Amino acid sequence: MNFNTSPPRGMRDILPQETEIRDFAIARILAVYRQYGFSHIETPALESIGLLTGGQGGENEKLIYKILKRGEKLDLDRRDIAAEDLVDLGLRFDLTVPLTRYYANNRSNLPRVFKSIQLGSVWRAERPQRGRFRQFTQCDIDMIGVGSELCEAELLEATSEALVAVGFKDFTIRINDRKILSGMAAAAGFDTAAHDGIFVTLDKLDKIGTDGVGAELTAAGHPAAAIAAIMTMLDAMPRDATGLQAAAAALPESIDRDAFQALENVAEAVTAAADGRYTVEYDPTLVRGMGYYTGQIFEIQYGDYPFSIAGGGRYDRMIGRMIGTEVPACGFSIGFERVITILMEEGLADGDAGRRLAVIVADNDPLPAVLAAARALRADGYAATLLPRQRKLGRQIANLADEGFDFFSVFRGDAERPEVEAVRKD
């Protein structure tokens, strides 16, 4: 048999060095989120194709891996077969759509205010590109049932502390509110129907600058006066979230003043919690891609990395679409793969580093004594593992460093006090 042994296109095998860091990060993040009272839940990787294509996923709905129907349900004999006739399930493209289904399905068994942790793979059949994969891990917390900014404040603090726990510091939380963006766009004179498109363009301000955004909005046929008006408003806003209400006084009265008050409250509370370890800043041009956001939105930026390492916001109408009653909800998602990329680039030490030990065993060594020797070494804190002795022991020992070992012990029959030597690392 002759296989291509690569993983499927756009997917990857994860080597032991990386998995150690991933496990370390997962353990730390889960521990912090649990301290904040969030509960870990799981949903299946597969959902019905109807749920996944229900309109909440935006562009992601075009990237679904779809599952062929099985057994009698698969009818290939009829004419004019369409792809949608052939599939009944799909792999989830995010954890938010499954969460709303989970909440709808299980709410009678869940607390009135439900605070969830989700950690799992999602799949998107995107065009493969450097550093982006078609299967990747997301780590979300969500709070269902709280409409006040208590929710945003706790989500921001908990996610920040989770990032601190895995080694991040001096990062910046950027916050905004969709209601303010909408208010500005309306006051500037844009059609309500055009707001989503305008926001997508505004999102590019830090990449293409004021001129670029102006040109793109003009090219899309928006009136010059509206473009100038919204640019003037955005320019006038401070980055300092504590001065927000004062700055907002100069804006047209139609723009929601409560939203500024709430942003200022959240910024003040989270800044106090941060105690200088991370900062909160207002970003009037922060948009976030998904159409379902209804209130505050936020992202976390670290160093000079050209991507955010976490993002989220309030989505008060999404659960209502599923159960018929509106339930407020808000979530914050850690870009787990990006976090791992940074941890690896910045050389975070792995958990077992410094204590990996090989017990080298000859074929005729008595197995019970061999196992006992390894047990004694584990009791001394080594991660001890058995290796069969090779014909050239010297060469075997010389290779141990390359194989990731820090210590070795050649079994000599003494189960109680095995002799340990450090591996020479050149």
Task: Assess 221 for contact with a copy of itself (CB under 8 A).
Answer: no
CA 139 vs. chain centroid, Å, equals 4
3-state secondary structure of 384: strand
Q: Are 83 and 64 a contacting pair, CB within 8 Å?
A: no
Q: Whole-angstrom Cα distance, residue 266 to residue 157?
A: 10
Is the Cβ of residue 123 or residue 168 nearer to a copy of itself in the bound state?
Answer: 123
Q: What x/- string results for residues 109 through 138 when contact with a copy of itself is judged by CB under 8 A?
A: xxxxx-xx----x-x-x---------x---
Stretch that binds a copy of itself, among 192-200, 251-259, 339-347, 386-394 (CB under 8 A): 386-394
Q: Which residue has the tokens 């891609």?
A: 289
Chain positions 291 to 320 lying near a copy of itself, rule: CB under 8 A, are none
Report the nearest approach of a copy of itself to the CB of residue 287 (Å). Answer: 25
Cβ–Cβ contacts within 10 Å for residue 134, how many? 20
Query: Minimum distance between the CB of residue 24 and a copy of itself, rounded to whole angstroms?
Result: 11
- Tokens of residue 265, six digits: 């409250």
**Tokens representing residue 166 in the block:** 């895995």
Q: Is 393 in the site for a copy of itself (CB under 8 A)?
A: no
Residue with Cβ nearer a copy of itself (230 or 373): 373
Q: What mask, x for binding a copy of itself by CB under 8 A, covers residues 144 to 163?
A: --x-xxx--xx--x------
**404 near a copy of itself, judged by CB under 8 A:** yes
Binding of a copy of itself at residue 246 (CB under 8 A)?
no
Residues 25-84 that bind a copy of itself (CB under 8 A): 27, 30, 34-48, 50-51, 54-55, 65-68, 70, 74, 76, 81-83
CB under 8 A: which stretch of 232-240, 299-307, 337-345, 352-360 binds a copy of itself?
Answer: 352-360
Cβ 122 vs Cβ 95: under 8 Å = yes
- Closest by Cα among 156, 233, 143 to 188: 233
Q: Compare residues 257 and 317 and give the one whose CB is closer to a copy of itself.
A: 317
Site for a copy of itself in 157-216 (CB under 8 A): 157
| CB 355, min distance to a copy of itself, A | 10
Q: Name the pairing type of β-strands 407-410 and 421-422.
A: antiparallel
- In this chain, which of 131, 221, 306, 368 binds a copy of itself, going by CB under 8 A? 368
Residue-wise burial string across 175-210, b where 16 or more C-beta atoms lie within 10 A, e elsewhere: bbbbbbbbbbbbbbebeeeebeebbebbeebeeeee
CB atoms within 10 A of CB 83: 7
**Candidate residues 200, 215, 371, 420; the one interacting with a copy of itself per rule CB under 8 A:** 371
Handedness of CA 273, 279, 281, 287 (dihedral sign): negative
